[in-house]
Amino acid sequence: MAAPSILHVDLDAFFVSMELLRRPELRGLPVVVAGGLGARGVVNTCSYEARRFGVRSAMPVSQARRLCPSAVFLESDYSFYGPASRQFHAILRDFTPRVEPAGADEAYLDVSGSERLFGDGPAIARDIRARVKAEAGITASVGVATNKLVAKVASDAAKPDGLLIVPAGQEADFLAPRPLRDLPMVGPKTATVLAGLGVRSIGDLQRIPVHALQARFGRHGAELHARAMGIHNAPVLAGRAEAKSISRETTFDADEPAEERLRVVLRRQAERVAADLARHERSARTVTLKLRFPPFETLTRSWTPGAPVEVAAEIFSAASAMFDRAWAENSHRPVRLLGLGVTNLQERAHQLRFGEPGGHGQLDSAVSTLRERFGETAVLRAAELFRPKRPGQQLTTPPAAAHDQIDLEGFDWA
């Protein structure tokens, strides 16, 4: 019987752990890191002390404040977290090339070919945890099993700062007592349907005949039963996950009526999207605009130009034209959310147009490098500054929107 050699490694409360490195006085306190601190902000992650009050990821900041008024709320600083994420993934690749990133702070590893160099799966898991602690200064939890599904559940069960090994042949027994929602593939709707059948734990699901699940869920019923038994054959897909789309969204603390402010945010989003494209050495065939008006009326517009776009000026030009038309069609109403994205990505192979100067994208690259090294506000356009209100008053950066959301589908920071 195969020894457990599949690892799921997950950094513990990653954003919070990073913030505690530079704010050690907050250790032991309920800490919430959110994409914006206003009424429309959303929790990215929180400390385990905050979780005891019911605070969870993806929860509105306003709800988190009601649940835990004593919590310390911090705004996400992705430029600070990014280098640590890359360091984390580099550590994993030191043990095996068969690493499948699952985000900035987690990954699957298949170490079945690394035993002669580094020992078995549990030994490698212990070494990884020690190196993450010593080199990055934060903790990781690891699940070790014979497949990705069980390893993922095991790492969740090991949190925080733990290691859990599920021996071969004991997958079903390990899963049986756990809550149904711990099983990957069981979302809120599926859980509600199963609850109506009296299913509360994974063990309850194991006892339902396969044909009964197929009658209720179709072809997914058999997969649901197999997963409940700890049977999962998906391999670890080595290599960097390719981005399928890249986008930025900004939700405003108050509905934004000012065209100048909206254009500033749109240009800022174009610069960030262009930086992400450059990082992946990609260009985009399609540019997409997203507008949300109060209370939740949302519209999207897309445009596919004749040639792929990759630099901020091109992306902003396309988005700005769509914004002009869409906003006018909606009587220039105040905007609740503004988003900009690119899809249909392809390998970058820019060809200069007639009369176009060389050095294509060099300014974008320089600005992106400065922001990554010194923070998002290290370089700002003049339009991103407020004018002085009094003689001699210094320029200040505009107040942050409720939250700037980053969506890189299939993207990891490694």
Q: How many Cβ atoms are within 10 Å of 412's Cβ, its own excluded?
A: 20
HEC secondary structure over the chain: CCCCCEEEEEECCHHHHHHHHHCHHHCCCCEEEECCCCCCCEEEEECHHHHCCCCCCCCEHHHHHHHCCCCEEEECCHHHHHHHHHHHHHHHHCCCCCEEECCCCEEEEECCCCHHHHCCHHHHHHHHHHHHHHHHCCCEEEEEECCHHHHHHHHHHHCCCCEEECCCCCHHHHHCCCEHHHCCCCCHHHHHHHHHCCCCEHHHHHCCCHHHHHHHHCCHHHHHHHHHCCCCCCCCCCCCCCCCEEEEEEEEEEEECCHHHHHHHHHHHHHHHHHHHHHCCEEEEEEEEEEEECCCEEEEEEECCCCCECCHHHHHHHHHHHHHHHHHHCCCCCEEEEEEEEEEEEECCCCCCCCCCCCCCHHHHHHHHHHHHHCCCCCCCHHHCECCCCCCCCCECCCCCCEEEEEEECCCCC
Amino acid at 52: R
The C-alpha angle 312, 101, 110, rounded to 5 degrees, equals: 155
pLDDT at 396: 38
Residue 222, both tokens:
């058999």
* pLDDT tens sequence for the chain (414 residues): 667 999 999 999 999 999 999 999 999 999 999 988 887 788 999 999 999 999 999 899 999 999 999 999 999 998 899 899 999 999 999 999 999 998 889 999 999 999 999 999 999 999 999 999 999 999 999 999 999 999 999 999 999 999 999 999 999 999 999 999 999 888 888 899 999 889 999 999 999 999 999 998 888 899 999 999 999 999 998 865 556 788 898 888 889 999 999 999 999 999 999 998 888 788 999 999 999 998 889 999 999 988 899 999 999 999 999 999 999 999 999 999 999 999 988 887 655 454 445 455 566 556 655 655 555 555 666 555 544 433 443 333 343 444 455 554 433 333
Spatial neighbors of 179 by CB under 8 A, at least 6 apart, are 200, 201, 202
| Statement: the pTM of the whole predicted model exceeds 0.85 | no
Catalytic residue check, 106: yes
Q: How many Cβ atoms are within 10 Å of 262's Cβ, its own excluded?
A: 21
Query: For residue 201, what are the β-bridge partners?
Result: 179
The C-alpha angle 85, 91, 94, rounded to 5 degrees, equals: 145
- Sheet of 72-75: strand order equals 43-46, 31-34, 72-75
CA distance 140 to 91: 12
Residue 296, both tokens:
């939740």
Residue 2, both tokens:
């195969």
Provide CATH 1.10.150.20 ranges for the chain: 173-228
CA distance 128 to 33: 26
CATH number corresponding to 245-409: 3.30.1490.100
pLDDT at 363: 61
From 19, 106, 256, 310, the catalytic residue: 106
Residue 81, both tokens:
């977290």
- Sheet of 140-145: strand order equals 99-101, 106-110, 6-11, 140-145, 163-165
- In the numeric block, the tokens 């939890």 are attached to 141
CA distance 208 to 348: 51
Amino acid at 296: F
Provide CATH 3.30.1490.100 ranges for the chain: 245-409
CA distance 25 to 283: 44
The architecture CATH gives domain 173-228: Orthogonal Bundle (1.10)
pLDDT at 372: 55
